[in-house]
């Protein structure tokens, strides 16, 4: 039997830290259920002290997970953080507190204003001991371990193991390392740290040089038995190690690495679509494992090879990552049972009764406009419903006049948080500009629209057009919004309003 590599998912914590990727509690629970279907070993549910919303999410995620995985909460090496985290996890059957402090010269000098290494070690040791008063399972992260001198890092790790850490996380926080150098770092710890053989070594790598997966693999090759990762590689700045990449790489090289994971890889495509739809972060078509082109062959030579034998140009069987497609075709004639089954397979649980009827009605409206409703359409439809449910302002109607040589003019009617209908009109450089200006007149929020993109959800002229918008608030925070409709001007209005709603909800 090869070594088991535990998969620690941090989509809901580090992933959610990507500017504009914030998720509300309901969205996090949908992602949690998908993580359970994947069979991850640990779910990092959030940073409980950071906000009451995060605290509540961690509690509810722990409830949904039960004993199916370890649920972990992040803290700084600060007693109050640890107390709040322990409180959020108090009913969790398998709780873990993740605490830590910086170790690199850069972090000690600037972030901790000249703290010495000894002082940082003392803070780390104290935090681990404090966390151990609440839970048995304590993970310690030595932040920016990737830029710390090997001996400094070894001293800190040895001290926290002696204090009771059960998992030691060696993050390349800034994605600075070359893979072989990161591997040497892990090997050095294995060879020099007393007690390291009794704990789990975890790696947490960022993608600033596009090497997060390679770094994690070198970590595994040199002794790590836990990898921290996210769906689609979401995460701070350039992101984290992508779970789908690291799991498939381990599966492909199991013998050479003496390693395996227990992940159900056939759920990857589903997980990727779900997270993309919820966060509003599109997946690039050439993304490894889950991109739309990951198993598409376009040149004649390649097509000829694949037709003769798939393995000529494919190292992964598409069905092993869930890319085989669904056998159920959903149309306007599909009944409740087929819709419910497909939605459940996609990760959505909807109570019978009024709630399900509303979804079914929205599905029929869409099916009337499209011949076939694909999985991507269902993700969009469910995303649209979730956005509407939590909205402060909702879109009632839009009317646009545009065309050469007219001045684009838009009229919108919104329903405000008190249930009143409010109408405004304005003109702009194009129909979307006019719509956004008319919405601004009603909402009166202080922000700039900084990004706009439109993508067709599926192929064909009848496809839904999904618009993603990012806005920057006056305090510099970025919020993203999504909207999907067959008419892309309506998608645009919905996406803009969704971003404004997210901003207003964070500000109240
Ligand atoms: O990148 C990092 O160092 C982190 C830690 C909090 C684990 O995210
Ligand atoms: Zn990180």
CA of 174 to the centre of ligand 2 (A): 8
CA–centroid distance, residue 126 to ligand 1 (Å): 19
| Nearest protein CA to atom 4 of ligand 1, as residue | 173
Q: Are strands 259-260 and 394-401 parallel, antiparallel or unpaired?
A: unpaired
Residue bearing tokens 């972060």: 281
Ligand 1 atom 1 nearest Cα: 173
Q: How remote is the CA of residue 416 from the centroid of ligand 2, in Å?
A: 38
pLDDT value of position 323: 87
Tell me which of 153, 169, 170, 233 to substitute to probe ligand 1's pocket, judged by most ligand atoms within 8 Å of the beta carbon: 169
Pull the structure tokens for residue 402.
């545009």
pLDDT tens, position by position, 73-109:
999 999 999 999 999 999 999 999 999 999 999 999 9
Whole-number pLDDT of residue 459: 67
Q: Give CA–CA dist 104/101, Å, rounded.
A: 10
**pLDDT band of 306, cuts 50, 70, 90:** confident
Q: Which helix (H) or strand (E) holds 454?
A: strand 447-456
Confidence of residue 20 (pLDDT cuts 50, 70, 90): confident
Please list every protein residue whose CB sits less than 6 Å from any atom of ligand 1. 14, 74, 141, 143, 169, 171, 173, 204, 206
- Among the bound ligands, name the one nearest to the CA of residue 202: 1
Tokens for 91, please give them.
């009913």
Cα 501 to averaged position of ligand 1 atoms, centre (Å): 29
Q: Which of 10, 99, 141 to mutate to test the pocket of ligand 1 (most atoms within 8 A of CB)?
A: 141
Contact between 198 and 161 (Cβ < 8 Å): yes
Distance 102 CA to ligand 1 centre (A): 9
Least confident of 165-174, 180-189, 309-318: 309-318
Q: Residue 2's pLDDT is what?
A: 97
pLDDT at res. 327: 52
Answer whether residue 238 shows pLDDT above 60. yes
d(CA 62, CA 132): 19
**pLDDT tens column, 137-183:** 999 999 999 999 999 999 999 999 999 999 999 999 999 999 999 99
Q: Coil, helix or strand for 336?
A: helix
Q: Where on the phi/psi map is residue 243: left (φ > 0), alpha (ψ -120 to 50), or beta?
A: alpha
153, 191 contact by CB (below 8 A): no
Q: State the Rg of the chain over Cα.
A: 24
Q: In this predicted model, what pLDDT tens digit does every residue of 427-472 receive, in sequence order?
A: 999 999 999 999 999 999 899 999 999 988 766 777 788 899 999 9
pLDDT at 326: 45
pLDDT tens readout for residues 396-420: 999 999 988 889 999 999 999 999 9
The closest-lying atom of ligand 1 relative to the alpha carbon of residue 14 is 8
Tokens at 175, concatenated: 């994605």
505: tokens are 């909800």
Q: How far is the CA of 333 from the centre of ligand 2 (A)?
A: 47
% of the chain with per-residue pLDDT over 90: 73
Using the structure block, give the residue that is written with the tokens 């040497």. 184
**Closest ligand to residue 173's CA:** 1
């Amino acid at each position: 039997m090869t070594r088991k590599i535990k998969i620690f998912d941090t989509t809901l914590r580090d992933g959610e830290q990507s500017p504009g990727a914030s998720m509300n509690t309901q969205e996090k629970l949908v992602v949690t259920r998908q993580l359970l279907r994947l069979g991850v070993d640990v779910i990092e549910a959030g940073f409980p002290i950071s906000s009451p919303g995060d605290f509540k999410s961690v509690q509810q995620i722990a409830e949904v997970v039960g004993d199916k995985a370890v649920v972990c909460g992040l803290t700084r090496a600060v007693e109050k953080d640890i107390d709040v985290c322990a409180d959020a996890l108090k009913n969790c059957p398998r709780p873990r507190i993740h605490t830590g402090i910086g170790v690199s010269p850069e972090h000690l000098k600037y972030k901790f204003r000249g703290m010495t290494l000894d002082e940082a070690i003392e803070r780390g040791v104290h935090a681990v001991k404090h966390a151990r008063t609440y839970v048995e399972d304590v993970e310690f992260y030595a932040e920016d371990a990737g830029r710390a001198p090997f001996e400094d890092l070894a001293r800190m790790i040895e001290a926290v193991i002696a204090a009771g850490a059960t998992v030691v996380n060696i993050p390349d926080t800034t994605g600075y390392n070359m893979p072989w150098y990161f591997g040497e770092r892990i090997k050095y710890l294995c060879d020099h740290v007393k007690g390291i053989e009794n704990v789990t070594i975890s790696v947490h790598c960022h993608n600033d040089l596009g090497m997060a997966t390679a770094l994690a693999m070198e970590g595994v090759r040199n002794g790590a038995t836990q990898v921290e990762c996210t769906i689609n590689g979401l995460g701070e700045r350039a992101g984290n190690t992508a779970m789908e990449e690291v799991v498939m790489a381990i599966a492909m090289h199991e013998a050479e690495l003496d390693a395996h994971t227990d992940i159900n890889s056939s759920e990857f495509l589903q997980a990727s679509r779900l997270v993309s739809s919820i966060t509003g972060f599109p997946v690039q078509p050439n993304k490894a494992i889950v991109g739309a082109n990951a198993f598409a062959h376009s040149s004649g030579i390649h097509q000829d090879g694949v037709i003769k034998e798939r393995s000529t140009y494919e190292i992964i069987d598409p069905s092993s990552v869930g890319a085989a497609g669904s056998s159920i075709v959903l149309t306007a004639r599909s009944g409740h049972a087929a819709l419910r089954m497909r939605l459940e397979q996609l990760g959505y649980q909807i109570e019978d009764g009024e709630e399900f009827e509303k979804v079914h009605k929205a599905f029929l409206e869409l099916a009337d406009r499209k011949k076939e409703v694909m999985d991507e359409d269902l993700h969009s439809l469910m995303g649209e419903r979730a956005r509407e449910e939590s909205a402060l302002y909702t879109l009632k109607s839009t009317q646009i006049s545009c065309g050469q040589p007219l001045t684009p003019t838009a009229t919108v009617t919104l329903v405000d948080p008190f249930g009143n209908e409010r109408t405004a009109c304005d003109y702009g450089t194009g129909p979307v500009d006019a719509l956004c200006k008319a919405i601004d007149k009603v909402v009166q929020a202080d922000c700039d629209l900084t990004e706009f993109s439109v993508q067709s959800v599926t192929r064909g002229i009848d496809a839904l057009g999904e618009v993603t918008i990012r806005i920057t608030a006056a305090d510099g925070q970025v919020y993203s919004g999504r909207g999907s409709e067959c008419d892309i001007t309506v998608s645009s209005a919905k996406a803009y309003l969704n971003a404004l709603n997210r901003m207003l909800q964070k500000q109240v």
